[in-house]
Amino acid sequence: MHFELNEDQALLKSSTRELLESESPIAESRTVMEDNPDGFAKDLHAQLGELGYLGILQTEDAGGMGAIAFAAVLAEMGRVAFPGPYMDVAVAVRVLEDCGGDTAAKWQQAAASGEKIVVLARGENMTNADDTNVAATFADGRVTGRKVFVPFGAQADALLVDTVQGIALVERPDAGWNATEQTTLDHSQRFAAIDFDDAGELLCDASKGTQVLADAARRATLGASAVMLGCMESALESGVAYTKEREAFGAPIGSFQGLQHRAADMLIKTESTRSAVFRAAWAEENGEPDAGYVVSVAKAWAGPSSRFVCGQSIQLLGGVGYTWEYDQHMWLKRAKTFESFYGSTRASTENVLASSTHLNS
């Protein structure tokens, strides 16, 4: 499928690339990863809010720009392995809008502007990120329970907690969260397990919250797929550029047919992922009935494809590709981490099969 961004979306994409090249090139992502305990630059996050990026998934009336714009921005962020909770906050802003009410509206505005960090806290299974079973509860104005792998949870000002009773908002206690850092392959990501016994407010009950969270999960799956696409683009470009410079036997190694075949396979994987991601973004933006299906297709394809492309980029560089000084490992680690979260490859594949009516008839 050949897909073209419209004029506004193309302008957003190009301006995002310029912003990231200026404010957060991959060298800066590396610095944040190694030296910043928060895992992101707060001033840049606030700048994203001022520019409207954090409210990108809101409805059009609220100033949102749609799922295609969301995917385009995240693909650019994937190119530089952009650190921080951008995607998670953007998804949470839309959850707050969908919940409605005065409290949700207040936090929606604060999160969309970049003033506050708000993310979702859903998972409770340490060994299965796709498990949506919930034991956390909301009763008598308090949230109790434990959530694991909360993205940037320790840095959040408020958490949207999935409970048996519905979606509850818990503000950061004065003493801070009862959080335990959870390390993953991607050193620039910050996940935390958080134990709750805190005051909270129920934003919407379970009957409404179930659909709100399903929509949020689908958008996060789309976003993760777009990030992996961006990682693939940069890994491919970087690897091919190296083969043009590195010489062996008196010729650039890129002239060797074996490496050309490898690069061609990488290109095919990257371009097919682009088609899948933007087909899914189009379906999401237009409210197509098969949006869940095509988003799962995109994630099921993007996961193994990004792992392949980023891994092959290391191979193109040879031994130095495994070293810390080169950027290849940053794209591979981001791709592999996002393959496991936000709807794993296995879960996405199962969703695709379950939704394929021609296979179930």
Contact 124, 136 (CB under 8 A): yes
How crowded is residue 128: how many other Cβ atoms within 10 Å of its Cβ? 13
d(CA 104, CA 106): 5
Tokens linked to 318: 């040879």
pLDDT tens figures, 31-87? 888 888 888 999 999 999 999 999 999 999 999 999 999 999 999 999 999 999 999
User: Strand 179-182 vs strand 191-199: parallel, antiparallel, or unpaired?
Assistant: antiparallel
**What's the confidence (pLDDT) of residue 301?**
98
Angstrom distances, CA of residue 14 to CA of 40, 76, 135, 158, 310:
22, 9, 44, 32, 23
pLDDT score, position 358: 54
Q: Please write the tens of the pLDDT for every residue from 184-197.
A: 988 888 999 999 99
CATH number, span 209-360 = 1.20.140.10
Q: What pTM does this model have?
A: 0.95
329-351 per-position pLDDT tens digit: 999 999 999 999 999 999 999 99
Sequence-separated (6 or more) residues with CB below 8 Å from residue 312: 235, 239, 262, 265, 266
- What number is the average pLDDT over the span 302-322? 95
Q: How far apart are CA 226 and CA 273, in angstroms?
A: 9
Say if CB 307 and CB 332 are below 8 A apart.
Answer: yes
Spacing of C-alpha 271 from chain mean position: 19
Q: Are 157 and 42 in contact (CB under 8 A)?
A: no
